[in-house]
Structure 1
Amino acid sequence: MRTILKGLGFEKQSKYLRDYFFNSNIRASIYMSIVIIVLEIWMILRLTYKIFDEHLQTQFWQLFEKYYSNYIILTFTGVIMLLFAVRYVKGKTTNKSIGTVIKWIFTFVCIYFGVKISLNDYSKGEQILTFLSMQLFATCLLIWKPYIAFLISSVSYLYFYLRINEMVAVNTGEVGTTVATQINFFIMWISTMMVCIANYNGIRSQALKDEHLEEINTYLSKISIEDELTGIHNMVFFRTEAEKLLNYVTTDRENIIFLFFDIENFKSYNEKYGFHEGNELLIKAAHMIDDSFKGSLVSRFSDDHFVVLTRIDGVKNTIGYLSGEIKKLQREVHLELKCGAYKPIGDEADISLACDRARFACNSIKKHYDRTLRLYDKSLEDKFQLKHYIVNNIDTAIENGYIKVYYQPVVSSKTGCICGLEALARWQDPNYGLLSPGSFIEILEEYRQIYKLDKYIIEEVCRDYRRSIDNKLPFPPVSLNFSRLDFELCDIVGYLCETVEKYDVPKQFIDIEITESALTDQQDFLPNAIKNLRSFGYKVWLDDFGSGYSSLNVLKDYHFDVLKIDMKFLTDFSSNEKARPILENIVNLSKQLSMLSLTEGVETKEQFEFLENIGCDRVQGYLFSKPVPLETLREKISAGELKISEEYMIA
């Protein structure tokens, strides 16, 4: 029923549909009015010729009243309709109300003309084609809602029928119409209505399709330049417009700056209050930044990061204001707005590079709660160049063997002998010299390249084991550090198993260290990965225990073989009275949970003796050895500086 009502025009049309029908009628009225104007001029000329040819000048006023006046009125109305339609199409007028009024007048004049002329024709026994033509013009060429067309057509047909039904029929000589005429008349009315309905629904169907396409195009256009969550511009728009701005001759390049914003601790906020609250915070922050930099380019970079291209003047004050506003949004989780700034030099026009440098400056002040803004400078430039060097050369470094495996001994507190080794990466670069892990680990994680390094370390450790065994040299178990991204970017467990099998390494000689922070960051796939590692026969260590905020929850939810206590507990061992009882309780806790305890960062004999006394199973630190190449480690053992447990000695 609803479909039938819609097909008859009983629906609330969208603005797009109303405009579509109006525009269709305007286009139709152009052709219709031109045809009418031409026909009526021809009729006026023809009648004038007839008057002079047949010497009917004495009947001029009679003919004027009967024909001329109707021709002139219809022609005049057609001209008005045509003029409006042409002006509307050319964009010289947009007044739809006037157009609607003209269309109604044009329609009624056409029907009136058809009635008047066809009544004259019918009285002389001629056809009523003028009435039918005007009906088709007025209600079929012009598209009306069917129920409106029904009213217009029904009233005009009824009026015309009643008039001819009062007249004497030429063919019968009697007053009234014949049955055949009545039937034909009814069929003509039905046909007219069917054409009206068909035209309306045809146009409506096309309009709905076009509206749908228009909505899709509008949506696609919108998302191509607008961030879907926050509603501000996205990076596609930012890069395009920023490049244009930098290339404008009128742009004062000395007074513009790129800003990169980061909401520090947003991840914790998201985890505590949920994604919905997190999204609401992002939306508020986005519009705060957008409103604060009116007339500037503002876009969402990604996650809780935003970029701005603006004038330098007043930037510090604006950033200070925004920092205060962001703090007002915090609840139990402390929020900080960090900003990195980069000022383009000379003719620089690489937008991505400018944003990257501003981002680098922003990252340099993370965890520095006394700083909100950092300008990219020479010192950061050196670090930035190193960062890009590392990302671009990790494959070359692996291929050429620039990455070396260093081993740091793990010592049994009971025997003082080496009971294990930790494999650590060092980058011996031909340009930068020896790079420590702090120089490249975080960068490789940031650019999601860390799995390449970790797979390489697995291969090298397994190769070192096989060489040692083949040469009858001792080789204790080795622990490998896995990044949380290893489990996401590749099948690290599968690769480990394949490599261990390739070099015939007993699985008890390979341990896996996973940091506590990795478990709080990724809680979806890591639990299964840990279960798989242990089911395959590998021991799994919890690394850096106590460095995060969810240590006890981690111990509750996961099963580990070794608890590796973070070195921070020993940094102020001598002066901080709390360090000793905390360490003792952690060691006791590990025993209750059936885990071995290992404390890293041991640098003094006092620390070692304390850990030995409280029952800590293993220790690691510079007191015994810093990380060194395997050959150096063997030299230390041979020199008697270090001893290796008897169980790993080869007879």
Structure 2
Amino acid sequence: MDDQHSSTAPLYRRTSRWDKLFLPLLLALGALLLAIWGLPESAQLKQSSSLFPTWLHSITELFAMVVALLLFSVTWHSYRRDSAGNLVLLACGFLAVGLLDIGHLLSYRGMPDFITPASAEKSIDFWLAARLMAAVCLLGVSLRAWQPLQNPGLRWYWLTAALALVATMFYLQLLHPHWFPPTFIEGQGLTPLKIQIEWLVIALLGVAAWRFWRARANAANYDAHGLFLAVAVSILSELCFTAYSNVHDIYSLLGHLYKALAYLLLYRVVFISSVREPYWRLAKEIRGREAAEQKIEVLAFYDTLTGLPNLDLLRDRTDQALTASLRNQQHVALLYMDVDGFKTLNDSLGHSYGDALLRTLAEVLRGLIRDSDTLCRPGGDEFVILLPDLDSPEDAAAIADKIMRHLRQPLAVLGRSISTSLSLGLAVAPGDGSAFETLLRNAETAMYKAKQDGRQTWRYFDSSMNEEALERLNLLNDLRQAVAAGQLLLHYQPQVDLRSGALIGVEALIRWQHPQWGLVPPLRFIPAAEESRLIVPIGEWVIQQACQQAMAWQRAGVRVPQVAVNVSAIQLQYGNIEQQVLQALASSGLPAAMLELEITESSLIDNPEQAQATLKRLKAMGVKLSIDDFGTGYSSLAYLRNLAVDKLKIDQSFVRDLTSSTDSRAIVTAIVQMAHSLGLSTIAEGVEDQASAEALLQLGCLEAQGYLYAKPLPEAQLSAFVRQHPSASG
């Protein structure tokens, strides 16, 4: 039975005690039969014809019939849609077996006449019919996959078939007994046919036993051990009925007892599967709603990655500490920490190293604080420490210094030695706030100040930091209105062929013309836009505007072969980039091949499967794709092979030092060779002198952009530039 592939819920849980007992029991029963078999034929035990009188036969058969009918009743009435169909088959089969056993009992020699006179021949015919029915039923159960019925109504067809077979047997045996071949001859005993049928039954049971034995190791959802034992005992029973010389001898007694035991074992299987198992499962589920409550509590108040308290638990403990500090006239501090360069490490080594680093840091920090302190991970690469019961703010400073000193040593993370540092902000109550939210916000503000001051340091909070935070907030508010107010514009930087100097395209670069601040540098507002996800609507506007402008140039006869647009990691992950591109191409009429999307290398690592699927769909539209800032993130030949990109853009940090640094030259050489091996082109950015351009061409990079050719130009100036520099396609 291929029960390991079944989708039904487990119907039985084997106990270790049962696993240990079933083989000794079988061996004991077999040994008893062998012991009797080994006795000489002259032994009194074998010669006795009074060991199994009619009254004892009636008791054992009546017991077996009751068990068989109970087996049917329990299984049939406890049927559920998720019950295995094998149980229904077993139930219907043994209903027929129990009814045929009634015919056998009533026809047994010495019993009152049952419609027709009782006789050994009549009793044996009912017996053989019952044994064949039981063997075929058990074989069918062993061959069928242990799974629910696809058609629940099938159980009624099986019940009807079982009753029809029984009715047919009774009709033929009681009204047409002469149709049956002889199985017993007075004075001679059993006929060869009867013994052959017994061996046929044994053979069928043997196949069923072999199937159950094979299935026992993988039977996670039923008692294959119990079924094997029941079938094996049935085989022992049938062996007895091939050896008896009269119906009252030791073999007949032992055979009937073994048969009754086999029925009991089968009843145990179906009772546990149909009745006890649902209660066990319910009890387990009850124990699981308790475990779930504990799990919910853990999820509600603890970080799943590090096991540290989360922000909700920290808030509760801080409120308690602040209340106690008012009574005791003590200080409470929050240390807000952020891992320096965590994103770079995560992108270069992978998320497994990032997670391992956070767990390692949690253990290190836990060992540096007092028992009364609370270390919390609110999320990401940030940690917060609650320091209650401080006599002065300097006590908090001592802990901050201790953390900084300790983390100057590299950490062992997944077999690597990784150097890392923290930027830390410190806010102390009551001077920096008397409520949790205020204290936390001010500690975070101080942490950002530490980052601005060079990282790997810590800062106390002071009120001037709020002014900087307010300035950033104002910048975000103004940026939200910039698109609608028409304050955003695009400049375009030419891209040229290093061999001919011909124009091959332009890169669209966003600018912000603020009414009060003037032209805001991209490095000032782009990071804020990405952190706030304003980059998604801004990026959509850039794609639309660039496509419209490229098509306008075409209509005006200004030959710009293609326009490149930067796509941020936030756009790729949260923006519907495919729909944005389709809409921009459709509304502008620009051919898809004239649009190139530049995607940063690190953005492809956050969700590589999603990124690959998105890039493949964009590529299918006909859009060209390039990887921007290549070489600064995670470079892998195997990874690039799966990406549907056309071009690698060499980062300007390597180009700038190309003629003076052997390391930069080696990196550029490797990138160009990698691109060529994958059939990709390369373009270098930040080319500012002729020597760098010549070096790039010598290394095999054929395209470039930079101040050597032109800085980013407004639309009108770019048009003039194009007219002076014919395109490669022109």
| TM-score, normalised relative to structure 2 | 0.53
CA contact (8 A) 1:269 1:333 kept: no
Return the match for 2:376 from 290, 293, 299: 299
Q: For residues 665 and 287 of structure 2, what CA distance do their matches in structure 1 show?
A: 73
What residue is the counterpart of 1:495 in the other structure?
Answer: 580
SS in 2 for 1:521: coil
Q: For residues 644 and 292 of structure 2, what CA distance do their matches in structure 1 show?
A: 51
SS in 1 for 2:335: strand
What residue is the counterpart of 1:522 in the other structure?
Answer: 607
Once the two structures are TM-superposed, the CA of residue 302 in structure 1 deviates from its matched residue by 0.8
In structure 2, do the counterparts of structure 1 residues 631 and 293 end up closer, same or farther at CA, with 3 Å as the change threshold?
farther
What residue is the counterpart of 2:302 in the other structure?
Answer: 226
Once the two structures are TM-superposed, the CA of residue 530 in structure 1 deviates from its matched residue by 1.4
Q: For residues 318 and 558 of structure 1, what CA distance do their matches in structure 2 show?
A: 46
Q: For residues 283 and 671 of structure 2, what CA distance do their matches in structure 1 show?
A: 73
SS in 2 for 1:465: helix
What residue is the counterpart of 1:354 in the other structure?
Answer: 442
CA contact (8 A) 1:419 1:644 kept: no
Q: For residues 290 and 464 of structure 1, what CA distance do their matches in structure 2 show?
A: 57
CA contact (8 A) 2:301 2:312 kept: yes
What residue is the counterpart of 1:643 in the other structure?
Answer: 725
Once the two structures are TM-superposed, the CA of residue 458 in structure 1 deviates from its matched residue by 0.6
CA contact (8 A) 2:356 2:413 kept: no
Q: For residues 473 and 523 of structure 1, what CA distance do their matches in structure 2 show?
A: 38
Are 2:589 and 1:504 aligned?
yes
Once the two structures are TM-superposed, the CA of residue 257 in structure 1 deviates from its matched residue by 4.5
Once the two structures are TM-superposed, the CA of residue 293 in structure 1 deviates from its matched residue by 4.0
Once the two structures are TM-superposed, the CA of residue 399 in structure 1 deviates from its matched residue by 1.3
Are 2:309 and 1:309 aligned?
no
What residue is the counterpart of 2:318 in the other structure?
Answer: 242
CA contact (8 A) 2:347 2:606 kept: no
Are 2:519 and 1:434 aligned?
yes
Q: For residues 638 and 285 of structure 2, what CA distance do their matches in structure 1 show?
A: 56
Gaps of 5+ in 2: 1-11, 14-281
Are 2:655 and 1:546 aligned?
no
Once the two structures are TM-superposed, the CA of residue 550 in structure 1 deviates from its matched residue by 1.9
Are 2:420 and 1:327 aligned?
no
What residue is the counterpart of 1:338 in the other structure?
Answer: 422
Q: For residues 654 and 463 of structure 2, what CA distance do their matches in structure 1 show?
A: 36
What residue is the counterpart of 1:483 in the other structure?
Answer: 568
Q: Which amino acid aligns with 1:353?
A: R
Once the two structures are TM-superposed, the CA of residue 453 in structure 1 deviates from its matched residue by 1.8
Once the two structures are TM-superposed, the CA of residue 497 in structure 1 deviates from its matched residue by 1.0
SS in 2 for 1:460: helix
SS in 2 for 1:419: strand
Bigger Cα displacement from structure 2, 445-454 vs 615-624 = 445-454
Q: For residues 606 and 309 of structure 1, what CA distance do their matches in structure 2 show?
A: 56
Q: Which amino acid aligns with 1:262?
A: V
CA contact (8 A) 1:409 1:421 kept: yes
1:470-619, aligned counterparts within 5 Å? Answer: 470-580=555-665, 583-584=668-669, 586-619=671-704
SS in 1 for 2:402: helix
1:179-258, aligned counterparts within 5 Å? Answer: 219-243=295-319, 245-246=321-322, 249-250=326-327, 256-258=333-335
In structure 2, do the counterparts of structure 1 residues 632 and 280 end up closer, same or farther at CA, with 3 Å as the change threshold?
closer
In structure 2, do the counterparts of structure 1 residues 474 and 363 end up closer, same or farther at CA, with 3 Å as the change threshold?
same
SS in 2 for 1:399: coil
Q: For residues 379 and 479 of structure 1, what CA distance do their matches in structure 2 show?
A: 41
Return the match for 1:408 from 473, 493, 497: 493
What residue is the counterpart of 1:25 in the other structure?
Answer: none
CA contact (8 A) 2:426 2:458 kept: no
Q: For residues 645 and 696 of structure 2, what CA distance do their matches in structure 1 show?
A: 21
Q: For residues 613 and 271 of structure 1, what CA distance do their matches in structure 2 show?
A: 29
Return the match for 1:397 from 482, 505, 510: 482
CA contact (8 A) 1:338 1:365 kept: no
Once the two structures are TM-superposed, the CA of residue 541 in structure 1 deviates from its matched residue by 1.0
In structure 2, do the counterparts of structure 1 residues 383 and 467 end up closer, same or farther at CA, with 3 Å as the change threshold?
farther
Q: For residues 521 and 620 of structure 2, what CA distance do their matches in structure 1 show?
A: 34
Q: For residues 698 and 350 of structure 2, what CA distance do their matches in structure 1 show?
A: 44
CA contact (8 A) 1:514 1:540 kept: yes
In structure 2, do the counterparts of structure 1 residues 534 and 450 end up closer, same or farther at CA, with 3 Å as the change threshold?
same
Q: C-alpha offsets along residues 254-308 of structure 1, whole Å, 9 cap, x if unaligned? A: 7734322427558847986975x86665445334434514323431111342112
In structure 2, do the counterparts of structure 1 residues 243 and 579 end up closer, same or farther at CA, with 3 Å as the change threshold?
same
Q: C-alpha offsets along residues 332-365 of structure 1, whole Å, 9 cap, x if unaligned? A: 2514131321436654743452354245246547
Q: For residues 266 and 471 of structure 1, what CA distance do their matches in structure 2 show?
A: 45
Q: For residues 289 and 348 of structure 1, what CA distance do their matches in structure 2 show?
A: 25
CA contact (8 A) 2:504 2:728 kept: no
In structure 2, do the counterparts of structure 1 residues 532 and 297 end up closer, same or farther at CA, with 3 Å as the change threshold?
same
C-alpha RMSD of the superposition: 3.9
Bigger Cα displacement from structure 2, 335-344 vs 500-509 = 335-344
Q: C-alpha offsets along residues 59-109 of structure 1, whole Å, 9 cap, x if unaligned? A: xxxxxxxxxxxxxxxxxxxxxxxxxxxxxxxxxxxxxxxxxxxxxxxxxxx
Return the match for 2:336 from 245, 259, 283: 259
Once the two structures are TM-superposed, the CA of residue 217 in structure 1 deviates from its matched residue by 5.2
In structure 2, do the counterparts of structure 1 residues 481 and 326 end up closer, same or farther at CA, with 3 Å as the change threshold?
same
Q: Which amino acid aligns with 2:617?
A: N
Give the length in aligned residue pairs.
441
Larger RCO of the pair (alpha carbons < 8 Å, separation 6+): 2
Once the two structures are TM-superposed, the CA of residue 504 in structure 1 deviates from its matched residue by 0.8
Once the two structures are TM-superposed, the CA of residue 549 in structure 1 deviates from its matched residue by 4.4
Q: For residues 571 and 523 of structure 1, what CA distance do their matches in structure 2 show?
A: 30
